[in-house]
A and B are shown apart, each in its own frame.
Chain A
Amino acid sequence: GAGVSQSPSNKVTEKGKDVELRCDPISGHTALYWYRQSLGQGLEFLIYFQGNSAPDKSGLPSDRFSAERTGGSVSTLTIQRTQQEDSAVYLCASSRDRGTYEQYFGPGTRLTVT
């Protein structure tokens, strides 16, 4: 497909386990963003990549959260030792380049920590 894809679509995990969420951006888009939406809330910024570099990690809520991007394409968001408050929909977006404002979102991964 031509859009942003994310996997898995749903993930249920036990408290204390690690999870990995994957994002495939639109082909050719150099900028990639992770956001999360907790129940009843707006979207909260987590981290931004330009190419493989992350110039803005200011939104990561704790050191249990990390992300990487390889080959200027796929990105993985890792949450270690998950907590119940990590339950949310994790959304990935991509943008054509650093000079573009419009971001295009994937369908999200719904994470439930039990």
Chain B
Amino acid sequence: DQQVKQNSPSLSVQEGRISILNCDYTNSMFDYFLWYKKYPAEGPTFLISISSIKDKNEDGRFTVFLNKSAKHLSLHIVPSQPGDSAVYFCAASENAGNMLTFGGGTRLMVKP
């Protein structure tokens, strides 16, 4: 029973364009959502997060949108750069300090 799902295993975009990565969840008890970026042979790196009481959080080129009624969140990267090419994981938590539940990841390829 996957509580967090990333339905697109891969995404390819042109440099300078917008990248949109999607994530769906089923557990209504999740109150915090995070995005991590992972390069090969490295651990995941924290990117951006959002509390369930908000619907948008922005940090530079990265914006996360949360639609609680649809149990859906998305990560927008604008403009996309070749260095953004990595696997992106969506994660969710029920309470601070608890485990994170991860989606299966989406591989983003940004072409020069």
Contacts and interface: CB of A to CB of B under 8 A. Distances in A.
A95 interface: yes
B96 A99 contact: yes
Given A31-B97, A100-B96, A101-B96, A42 B103 contact: yes
Contact of B99 (A33, A42, A100): A33
Contact of A98 (B36, B96, B100): B96
Interface string B1-20: 00010000000000000000
A103 B46 contact: yes
A93 B38 CA distance: 14
B43 A45 contact: no
Nearest to A102: B46
Interface in A30-64: 31, 33, 35, 41-45, 48, 50, 56, 59
A107 interface: yes
Given A42-B105, A43-B89, A104 B46 contact: yes
Interface residues of B, number: 24
A99 B97 contact: yes
A82 to B, nearest CB: 22
Contact of A101 (B43, B49, B89): B49
B97 A105 contact: no
A98 B49 CA distance: 17
B62 interface: no
22 contacts: A31-B97, A33-B99, A35-B102, A41-B104, A42-B4, A42-B89, A42-B102, A45-B100, A48-B98, A50-B97, A56-B99, A91-B44, A97-B97, A100-B97, A101-B32, A101-B93, A103-B46, A103-B100, A104-B46, A105-B36, A105-B46, A107-B42
Interface of B: 4, 32, 34, 36, 41-46, 49, 89, 91, 93, 96-105
